[in-house]
Amino acid sequence: MTSAPEAPKWLWLHEEDNVAMALSDFAADNTVTVNGTSIVFADAVPYGHKFAVKRIGADEPVIKFAETIGAAKRAIDIGEHVHVHNIRSLRGGAR
């Protein structure tokens, strides 16, 4: 688990994860550095929500907890809000 040193603003659980979790309310154009990569937020990302720390292609798995939590509905760029508008479940009646 990696997070910023003091009063962490984000949480990146595993190296395999292509998303990190916001521990702050971010506005578009805010910047953070995760694992040496400078990330500019494309959208507002509320507390607890996810943002992409790696580029995710359309239909590619979204990885958190080092596990697949769903698939990208479309390509997602680094710094984009990753939420129900651009990720879908692979389980239940939705597939």
Shortest distance, CB of residue 11 to other proteins, whole angstroms?
Answer: 6
H or E element in which residue 62 lies: strand 61-64
Give the max Cα distance, the chain. 42
Shortest distance, CB of residue 49 to other proteins, whole angstroms?
Answer: 4
Between 40 and 90, CB nearer to other proteins: 90
Give the interface with other proteins as residue ranges (CB under 8 A): 3, 7-8, 11, 13, 21-23, 46-50, 62, 64-65, 67-70, 82-84, 87-94
Q: Beta strand 67-72 with 37-40: parallel, antiparallel or unpaired?
A: unpaired
DSSP per position, 1-35: -EE-SSS-SEEE--TT-SEEEESS-BPTT-EEEET
Shortest distance, CB of residue 74 to other proteins, whole angstroms?
Answer: 14
Shortest distance, CB of residue 90 to other proteins, whole angstroms?
Answer: 7
Between 72 and 78, CB nearer to other proteins: 72
> Which one, of 24, 22, 36, lies nearest residue 80 by Cα?
22
